[in-house]
Structure 1
Amino acid sequence: MLAYVLRRIGAGLVLALLVTLVTFLMLSLSFGDVVRTLLGQSATPESVAAMTKQMGYDRPVLVQYGDWLLHLLRGDLGTSVYTSLPVGPSVVQRLAVTLSIIVPALLITVLLSISLGVWAATRGGVADRIAQGLSLVGYIVPGLLIAIVLVYLLAVRAKLLPATGYTPLSTDPAAWLHSITIPVIVLVIGGVANMAAQVRGRMIDELRRDYVRTLRTRGVSTTSIVVRHALRNAAGPALTVLSLEFIQMFGSALIIENVFALPGYGSYAFNASLQGDIPVIMGITVFGVLLVTVVNLGTDLANGWLNPKARLH
């Protein structure tokens, strides 16, 4: 298992290297545009050339990437071209905002998906149709439309929650909870639509297996069969869906954070892309790749713990 973990970490580092290299090569095509944006469109060719040399953009691209990589190994992601703030702490601060939305949404999604999926699989009939109908609604209705409707109902009409803005948890826990409630609900609706259907399908398959019939003939209670056996065996594929859902929620942050004016990772990436803030874009890329690698590794380890036959040595 240790060797497998080390291999996965090594693969993640190689992936991060390749992704950052490709990203840097693509960004190098816009170095001139960044300089002109900083100086203004009326800048003279001489001033553009001087600024290009000052920022080091006149050097070979691979030399620039190597210099950036050496600074990264020392824990230095550079400073923002526009704010002059260090990129590393800025990304961490924005990432904390995004995770404060995604983590509660993911926990609620797991609880609701397991409950709804098991209920549909064990009850059948009306319960199954209700569960499938709710999943279908989550698939069909766009998240942006759900967000707009919730803002209108909960913020504009009922005035129960703020429509936009974010309050840090450390500043005011109650205000923080109010500020993330609508974004979390939007993410949960989409997440449950995906996960509940998967849990339902896997539970139905497990409950039809021979070992379930054997346990029933031995007088084992239905609750014990569902919780201790069927649900555990169905959890592996559900965990894979959970990791994909986390990554999808992470990607949805770009839309959610811009809709609700949240100072998170997604809005930071969006603004950096519009401004051509290359150090920030590179920092965001590094954190994104590493986070995905950690989530996938955690999913594999959890699958191995749940299913001894799938454990890697």
Structure 2
Amino acid sequence: MTPTTDLSVSPALREPKKQPTPAKRRIPVAGLLRSLGSRLLRSLLLFGAVTLTVFGLSALIPGDPAVSLAGEGATPESIAAIREQLGLSKPWFEQYFSWMNGVVHGDLGTSFFYHTPVSGLLMGRLPVTLSLALFAIIAAVLFGILAGMLAATRRGRLADKITTVLSTVGIATPNFWVGMILLILFSLNWRVFPAVGYTPITTNAVAWFMHLVLPGVALAAAAGAELQRQTRSSVSEILSQDYIRTARAQGLTRRRVLWQRALKNGAPPLATVVGLQAAVLLGGSVVVEKVFSIPGLGTLAIDSVTLKDLPVLQGVVLLNACFVIIINFATDIIYTVLNPKVRV
């Protein structure tokens, strides 16, 4: 009698082995904190250097504010009295430390000509400049990323050539010239947007938006063009990688490949460009505000130079420098999170 063979398979062999779930990618907290502390220390040192530079350069402006305040035909005694009242007769380093003591406590001094606290003047003009800069940043990011993605996916075609030409013209053209062309076309000739002025958003949101369109586009032209070139370069390089071809072979849609793979992996350099351009936009708003007669920090800075109002000029430059430091600090942190290789 032939023995029967048990062909049954054990339950352990019948059940498929469970694949271990991949561990989620975590950001090392210690490395991020070290990077944060290092960049914070550098930002504080940079702030100290900025205050010294701002105060020193403003003191080198030709002309004596006391003479301007005293008026024509003023006697040397009256000019000396005004200098003593304003603290201009003290040594330079004493003026600097006195000013820095006020800055630390939130006191930027009193305007020579407006006779009001400088901090109040800045806070009154700050929402205007921030509105313009925010509008320009959003417009630059939208145009730069969308046009860059379009050019990267159609390299050598008509769309790529058109966006490349537009970006080249945008980088090469000064923003004040773009502003004047837009003003002539859309305000004076076609009367689509208002030519000059500003309306607070709390008064009329539609008028606020309409007043920001032309200066915002003029301010965003160069930034959007630079972001378009960077997006095109980064995304084009990523689309040629092997893992992108693998993702396409796995059946991923074109949209998912572009936005979830290509753009995500190209985000670190784009974040750096956006941060740098945001800092440039704050400084570039000076000329654009003057072209469109917008009562922001840029107009206040130009007027303070004309009037030799040193406390106002120092306050405006210091505030802009603080914004640049904060933007660069935030950009470094974002870049550190997106690219762990740069952590210290």
TM-score between both structures, scaled by the size of structure 1: 0.93
What do residues 26-77 of structure 1 show as CA deviations (whole Å, max 9, x unaligned)?
3334596111011024211111112111211111111111111111111111
Q: Decide which of 94, 101, 112 is 1:63's aligned counterpart.
A: 94
Which letter maps to 2:222?
G
1:241 Cα offset (Å): 1.2
Query: Max radius of gyration: which structure?
Result: 2
Local SS of the residue matching 1:21: helix
1:25 Cα offset (Å): 2.6
Q: Decide which of 163, 185, 197 is 2:195's aligned counterpart.
A: 163
Counterpart check, 1:298 vs 2:333: no
Counterpart check, 1:284 vs 2:316: yes
In structure 1, the partner of 2:29 is none
Distance change in 2, residues 1:285/1:143 (3 Å): closer
Root-mean-square deviation over aligned CA pairs: 1.8
Where does 1:148-297 land on structure 2 (aligned, <5 Å)? 148-297=180-329
Distance change in 2, residues 1:215/1:183 (3 Å): same
Distance change in 2, residues 1:301/1:79 (3 Å): same
Q: Decide which of 96, 104, 127 is 2:135's aligned counterpart.
A: 104
Distance change in 2, residues 1:24/1:144 (3 Å): closer
Whole-Å separation in 2 of the counterparts to 1:31 and 1:166: 32
Local SS of the residue matching 1:82: coil
Distance change in 2, residues 1:271/1:127 (3 Å): same
Distance change in 2, residues 1:267/1:32 (3 Å): closer
The count of corresponding residues between Structure 1 and Structure 2 is 312
Q: Decide which of 132, 135, 139 is 2:167's aligned counterpart.
A: 135
Local SS of the residue matching 1:159: coil
What do residues 279-302 of structure 1 show as CA deviations (whole Å, max 9, x unaligned)?
112211221221111101111222
Which letter maps to 2:112?
V
What do residues 79-126 of structure 1 show as CA deviations (whole Å, max 9, x unaligned)?
111001111121122121111011122112112211111111112222
In structure 2, the partner of 1:46 is 77
In structure 2, the partner of 1:12 is 43
Which letter maps to 1:56?
G
Which has more helix, going by share of residues?
1
Structure 1 alignment gaps of length 5 or more:
none
What do residues 211-247 of structure 1 show as CA deviations (whole Å, max 9, x unaligned)?
2223233333332221111111111111111112112
1:257 Cα offset (Å): 0.5
Please, which moves more after superposition, 24-33 or 297-306? 24-33
1:197 Cα offset (Å): 0.9
Give the percent of matched residue pairs that are identical in Structure 1 and Structure 2: 35
In structure 2, the partner of 1:91 is 122
Contact 2:219–2:285 (CA<8 Å) still a contact in 1? Answer: no
Whole-Å separation in 1 of the counterparts to 2:40 and 2:174: 36
Which letter maps to 2:90?
R
